[in-house]
């Protein structure tokens, strides 16, 4: 009797790229729920719009590149990119803003660099940075917490109208405001102390009001990702470690001009970035030590950009800068091979 000859191993674990990506999506759910609660339907509309545009762009690019559609669309990587970007956008961002961002991420940052697995930069962060640089006014128009769980919530229809038809008669300007990090940055520039600024109504217990709950949601999801080994623990550990070291140092030097470490950790996109953005395996370092250094580099850069740079938050730029360093980190942090003498 003749048989098929296939090389070993002959058994494989039930595991797939699609499964890895779907886990990332599940892990985002608690954080997204909190965002919807505090910032309204706009968050969900952004997510849906980004998903549709991302899948469309992915399909077009795949067919141009002659790749099988079902196989590659089924890996959910485009959806992950879409969600990561959508969550980072202002909840009432006009539809074209979301679209431009997603197209920049999927078409340019992902497929023009060779598609899944070959892109040197985090696609979602490329999309975000393109928008941040090109449309600074739209990108800073964050809602003050007026979500569906809040007293003066915008209805779904109102949200749709603002996103797709512009503000019209709706009092959007009254709803939008600077983000807590914007406030901190601007007022520190005016010479106010951290303690005074923290008394402003945009702040809650630890960080921005409403934001702190979204952060808690993303932390829960992120810890689950680490627990299931979907995300490497070294990256968030390095990132938060780097940020804590920097912020604690400056806070101890002058607590009136530098926000405390817990504020930094819990503000802006730090937790989300640490567990969901920086952990994108394609663009991160792949060795255990490399991942720690990569994470720490992002943490340090976030602090430098927040404290001394031109933007209130620096997660996107920090991630992209460390993306460039990842191949070099891999080269110099190779683990000791079994039986090799101590390096």
Partner 1 sequence: MSALFPFHGGLKTVRHKTESNQTPIQAGILPPRLTVPLRQHIGAIAKPLVQPGDRVLKGQMIGQPDGYISAAIHAPTSGVVSAVDQQPVPHPSGLSDLCVTIESDGEDRWIDREPVDYHRLHPSELRQTIRNAGVVGLGGAGFPSAVKLNLAGRSEPLATLMLNGAECEPWITCDDRLMRERAAEIVAGLQIMAHLLGPAEVLIGIEDDKPEAIAAMTAACAGTSYEVRPVPTRYPSGSVKQLVKLLTGRETPVDGLPVDVGVQCFNVATAYTVYRAIHCGEPVISRVVTVTGQVHRPGNLEVLIGTPFAELIKQCGGYRDGVERLIMGGPMMGFALHSDEAPVTKAANCLLAAGPAELAAELPVLPCIRCGACMDVCPANLLPQQLYWHARAKEFDQARDCHLFSCIECGCCSHVCPSHIPLVQYYRYAKNEIWAQEKEKQRAEQARQRHQARMERLEREKQEREAKLRQKAPVRTEVVPHLDPLISVPSPTKGEGSGQVG
Distance of closest approach, residue 8 Cβ to partner 1, in angstroms: 5
Site string for partner 1, 317-336 (x = CB under 8 A): -------------x---xxx
Among 281, 304, 307, 325, binds partner 1 (CB under 8 A): 281
Q: Tokens 């006014």 belong to which residue?
A: 137
User: Hey, what's the torsion of the CAs at 254, 258, 261, 265, to 10 degrees?
Assistant: -170
Q: Is 173 in the site for partner 1 (CB under 8 A)?
A: no
DSSP string for residues in 53-101: HHHHHHHHHHHHTT--HHHHHTT-HHHHHHHHHHHHS-TT--HHHHHHH
* Nearest-angstrom CA–CA distance, 210 and 37: 8
| 77-116 binders of partner 1 (CB under 8 A) | 77, 115-116
Measured between alpha carbons, how far apart are the two ends of the chain, in Å?
52
241: nearest Cα among 313, 300, 287, 304: 300
Site string for partner 1, 117-136 (x = CB under 8 A): xx------------------
Q: Is 72 in the site for partner 1 (CB under 8 A)?
A: yes
Q: Is 12 in the site for partner 1 (CB under 8 A)?
A: yes
Q: Is 25 in the site for partner 1 (CB under 8 A)?
A: no
R_g over Cα of the chain = 21
Size, binding site for partner 1 by CB under 8 A? 44
- Return the number of the residue (110 or 185) whose C-beta is nearest partner 1: 110
Contacts to partner 1 by CB under 8 A: 1-13, 15-17, 19-20, 68, 71-72, 75, 77, 115-118, 229, 232, 281-282, 284, 286-288, 330, 334-341
């Amino acid at each position: 009797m003749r048989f098929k000859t296939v090389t070993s191993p002959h058994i494989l674990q039930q595991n797939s790229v699609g499964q890895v990506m779907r886990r990332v999506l599940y892990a985002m759910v608690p954080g997204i729920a909190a965002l919807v609660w505090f910032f309204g339907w706009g968050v969900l509309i952004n997510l849906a719009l980004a998903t549709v545009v991302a899948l469309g762009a992915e399909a077009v690019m795949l067919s141009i590149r002659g790749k099988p559609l079902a196989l590659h669309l089924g890996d959910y990587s485009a959806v992950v990119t879409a969600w990561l970007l959508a969550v980072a956008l202002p909840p009432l961002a006009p539809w074209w803003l979301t679209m431009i961002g997603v197209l920049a991420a999927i078409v340019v940052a992902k497929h023009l660099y060779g598609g899944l697995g070959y892109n040197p930069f985090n696609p979602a962060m490329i999309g975000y940075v393109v928008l941040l640089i090109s449309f600074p006014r739209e990108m800073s128009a964050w809602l003050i917490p007026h979500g569906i769980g809040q007293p003066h919530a915008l209805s779904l229809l109102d949200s749709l109208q603002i996103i797709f038809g512009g503000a019209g008669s709706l009092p959007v300007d009254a709803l939008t405001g600077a983000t807590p990090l914007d406030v901190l940055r601007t007022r520190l520039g005016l010479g106010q102390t951290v303690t005074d600024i923290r008394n402003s109504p945009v702040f809650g217990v630890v960080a921005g009001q409403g934001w702190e709950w979204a952060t808690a949601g993303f932390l829960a999801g992120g810890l689950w990702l680490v627990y299931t080994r979907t995300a490497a623990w070294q990256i968030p550990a390095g990132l938060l470690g780097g940020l804590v070291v920097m912020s604690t140092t400056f806070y101890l030097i002058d607590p009136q001009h530098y926000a405390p470490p817990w504020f930094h950790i819990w503000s802006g996109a730090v937790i989300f970035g640490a567990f969901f953005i920086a952990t994108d395996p394609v663009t991160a370092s792949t060795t255990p030590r490399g991942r720690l250094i990569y994470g720490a580099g992002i943490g340090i850069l976030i602090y430098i950009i927040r404290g001394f740079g031109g933007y209130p938050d620096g997660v996107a730029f920090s991630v992209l800068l460390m993306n460039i360093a990842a191949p070099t980190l891999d080269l110099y942090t190779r683990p000791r091979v079994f039986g090799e003498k101590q390096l």
